[in-house]
Amino acid sequence: MTAKQYTTTLNILLNILKRLYRGEKLSTKNIAENYEISLRTAQRYIKYFQEAGFNLKKQNNFYTLETIVDENQEVLFESIESIIKNAGLENEIMPSLKKLKMMNKESVFYSKIDIEKVDVSIFTQIENAIRSKNKIKIQYKMDNKIIPIIIKPLKISNFEGYWYVNALDENNNYKTFHIKSIQSIEVLKQKFRVKENLLKNLDKAINVWFDPTKEIIQVELFADEFATKYLERLPLSSTQKIIKNNDNTSTIYIEITDKMEILRKLLMWIPNLVVIEPKWLKEEVDKMIDKYIERFR
User: How does pLDDT run across 242-293, given as a tens digit for each residue?
Assistant: 999 888 899 999 999 999 999 988 988 989 999 999 999 999 999 998 888 8
Selection from 222, 216, 203 nearest residue 258 by Cα: 216
Q: The whole model's pTM is what?
A: 0.60
Strand partners, 134: 191
Q: How far apart are CA 180 and CA 162, in angstroms?
A: 9
53, 72 Cβ separation under 8 angstroms: yes
Per the model's pLDDT, the better-predicted residue between 272 and 112 turns out to be 272
> Is 106 within a domain?
no
Assess whether 162 and 82 both reside in one domain: no
Whether residues 229 and 274 share a domain: the answer is: yes
What 3-state DSSP class applies to 289?
A: helix
Contact 210, 261 (CB under 8 A): yes
The phi, psi pair for 208, rounded to 5°, reads -65, -15
**What confidence score (pLDDT) does residue 2 get?**
39
Residue 204 confidence (pLDDT) above 90: no
Helix or strand holding residue 223 (H, E): strand 217-223
pLDDT, position 77: 59
Determine phi and psi for 286, rounding to 5 degrees: -60, -40
For residue 18, give the CATH number of its domain: 1.10.10.10
Mean pLDDT of the chain: 81
φ, ψ dihedrals at 117, nearest 5°: -90, 130
Mean pLDDT score, 2-31 = 75
Point out the domain boundary residue: 63, 98, 133: 98
Same domain, 15 and 92: yes
Do 292 and 224 belong to one domain? yes
The yes-or-no verdict on residue 157 having pLDDT over 50 is: yes
Q: Are residues 54 and 137 in the same domain?
A: no
CATH of the domain at 254: 3.30.70
Q: What are the E-state strand segments in 105-214?
A: 134-142, 145-159, 162-169, 174-178, 182-191
* Radius of gyration, CA atoms only, the chain: 22
Domain span at 178: 120-196
Last residue of a domain, one of 67, 98, 129: 98
Helix pair angle (6-21, 39-51), 10° resolution: 70
- Model pLDDT for residues 220-248, shown as the tens digit of each residue: 999 999 999 999 888 888 889 999 988 88
Say if residue 76 is in the same domain as residue 137.
no
DSSP letter at 179? G
Peptide bond just before 153 cis, omega within 30 deg: no
Which of 5-9, 45-49, 105-109 comes out lowest in average pLDDT?
Answer: 105-109
Question: Does residue 107 sit within a domain?
Answer: no
Query: CA-to-CA distance for 177 and 164, rounded, in angstroms?
Result: 5
The mean pLDDT of 31-57, rounded to a whole number, is: 82
| Structural domain count, the chain | 3
Together in a domain, 248 and 279: yes
Instruction: Please name the helix (run of DSSP H) or strand (run of DSSP E) that holds residue 218, with its range, or none.
Output: strand 217-223
DSSP H helices in the chain: 6-21, 28-35, 39-51, 71-86, 90-98, 120-132, 196-202, 225-233, 260-268, 279-296
- Give the span between the Cα atoms of 150 and 139, in whole angstroms: 9
Closest CA relative to residue 129, chosen from 153, 102, 95: 153
A 10 A CB-CB count for 108 gives: 10
Q: Is 109 part of any domain?
A: no
In the chain, % of residues over pLDDT 90:
30
The residue ranking higher by pLDDT, 80 or 39, is 39
Same domain? For 12 and 94 the reply is: yes
Peptide bond just before 271 cis, omega within 30 deg: yes
